[in-house]
């Protein structure tokens, strides 16, 4: 990341953390990913060469700077459209996204799901569903709030 963009994300993160600390209602917070998670997302984008990227749950755009702009919605996306998807939205909605996430993830594509360790109790249903998904190979990385990485098998089952 160039120095100008790095200063921007550092300033954005600092200002939003300051604002978040003054809010008791979590829905009034920006809730950005932690810098190590953002940096890992940037590494994953570079490593996979993903150009078609979707982010669900952009908040104020902090992680989007690290990924790229996501211009389409999940339900309207074509099959196998996305090479990289970052899911960091409202956790109760995760199970409802899973079928479309798998459908729209390109063969060899990568799904990154945030908060899987910090809010494990809220993701019991989603975890059960995604771990049973035969088209995905996955692991949990202990960075930030916990990041589940799920790679779509190169040959789709459908």
**Is the model's pLDDT at 71 over the cut of 50?**
no
Residue with the bigger pLDDT between 122 and 15: it is: 122
Residue with the bigger pLDDT between 117 and 50: it is: 117
93 within a domain of the structure (yes/no): yes
**Is the model's pLDDT at 70 over the cut of 50?**
no
113 within a domain of the structure (yes/no): yes
How far is the C-alpha of 40 from the C-alpha of 43, rounded, in Å? 5
Number of independent structural domains in the chain: 1
25 within a domain of the structure (yes/no): no
pLDDT recorded at residue 34: 81
Contact call for residues 35 and 13 (beta carbons, < 8 A): yes
**Is the model's pLDDT at 88 over the cut of 60?**
yes
**Which CATH number fits the domain that encloses residue 120?**
3.40.50.150
C-alpha to C-alpha distances, 61 to 10, 30, 32, 57, nearest whole angstrom: 13, 9, 8, 9
pLDDT recorded at residue 66: 47
Mean pLDDT value across residues 82-102: 88
How far is the C-alpha of 139 from the C-alpha of 73, rounded, in Å? 25
125: domain range? Answer: 32-152
21 within a domain of the structure (yes/no): no
**Is the model's pLDDT at 127 over the cut of 80?**
yes
17 within a domain of the structure (yes/no): no
102 within a domain of the structure (yes/no): yes
6 within a domain of the structure (yes/no): no
pLDDT grade for 19, boundaries at 50, 70 and 90: confident
For the chain, the average pLDDT equals 81
8 within a domain of the structure (yes/no): no
């Amino acid at each position: 990341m160039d120095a100008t963009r790095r200063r921007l994300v550092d300033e954005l993160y600092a200002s939003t953390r300051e604002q978040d600390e003054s809010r008791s209602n979590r829905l009034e917070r920006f809730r950005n990913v932690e810098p190590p998670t953002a940096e890992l997302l940037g590494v994953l984008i570079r490593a996979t060469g993903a150009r078609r990227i979707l982010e669900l749950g952009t908040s104020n755009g902090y992680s989007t700077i690290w990924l790229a702009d996501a211009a389409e919605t999940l339900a309207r996306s074509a099959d196998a459209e996305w090479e990289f998807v970052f899911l960091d939205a409202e956790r109760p909605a995760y199970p409802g996204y899973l079928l479309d996430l798998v459908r729209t993830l390109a063969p060899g594509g990568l799904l990154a799901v945030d908060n899987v360790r910090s809010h494990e109790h809220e993701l019991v249903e989603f975890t059960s569903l995604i771990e049973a998904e035969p088209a995905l190979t996955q692991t949990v990385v202990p960075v930030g709030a916990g990041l589940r990485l799920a790679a779509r098998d190169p040959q789709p089952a459908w």
